[in-house]
Amino acid sequence: MASVTSAPENARTTPAIAARLRRAPRPYVHPYLGGLLLGVVLFAAFFITGNGLGASGGMNRLIVLVEDALVPEHVDTTPYLLEMAGGDRNPLDSWVVFVTIGVVIGGFVSGWLNGRLKVETNRGPRVPVRLRWVMAFVGGAFMGYGARLARGCTSGQALSGGAVLSVGSWAFMFAVFAGAYALAYFVRKLWN
């Protein structure tokens, strides 16, 4: 029964999807509205599960999964990795992995609905594409290293810890802004 009724609907939506992909990107929502919505999502996470949000933790476990598949002995002899994947422990057996996967899907769906799915490289006006790629990789490496040292990234520490008033998370948040502002002047040609 369900398939019979949904067939004509599919026929109607297909051109709509095509039109959606051709359309110019919609503007972003107002930052305060985005913030309010993000706040409600963050609250819902704490309210329902007791956990906040996270991203780098999930990425960490994906990397450990690869390491555990390639060099299991190495994982079993490194205490930091052992916690996540030692012996028969499954590194994917953690809430943060699923939040991280959800982030990718949610970002994709929103980009798709709003006409922002586009292969492009966002960069400062005077930066060659290749240099932007190298800088993105280098910046990412710093970010990944720092996020693990700080036990969380902007999501897991600043947002989540900030909302529940953790002292360490607030100190961390100011350190991130301080680090970025301190260096911003010296790399201004990358962005302006």
Among 14, 102, 126, 189, binds other proteins (CB under 8 A): 102
# binding residues, other proteins (CB under 8 A): 125
CB 44 within 8 A of CB 145: no
Q: Is 76 in the site for other proteins (CB under 8 A)?
A: no
Residues in 104-143 at the binding interface with other proteins, rule: CB under 8 A? 104-111, 114, 116-124, 132-143
Q: How many residues does the chain have?
A: 192
Report the interhelical angle of 95-113 vs 2-22 (nearest 10°): 70
User: What is the residue whose two structure tokens read 């982030």?
Assistant: 103
Q: Is 55 in the site for other proteins (CB under 8 A)?
A: yes
Among 17, 19, 69, 184, binds other proteins (CB under 8 A): 184
Q: Is 72 in the site for other proteins (CB under 8 A)?
A: no
Report how far apart, in Å, the C-alpha atoms of 57 and of each of 90, 94, 119 are. 14, 9, 27
Q: Is 91 in the site for other proteins (CB under 8 A)?
A: no
Report how far apart, in Å, the C-alpha atoms of 128 and of each of 19, 33, 140, 191 are. 32, 34, 18, 11
Candidates 1-9, 12-20, 148-156: pick the segment binding other proteins (CB under 8 A).
148-156
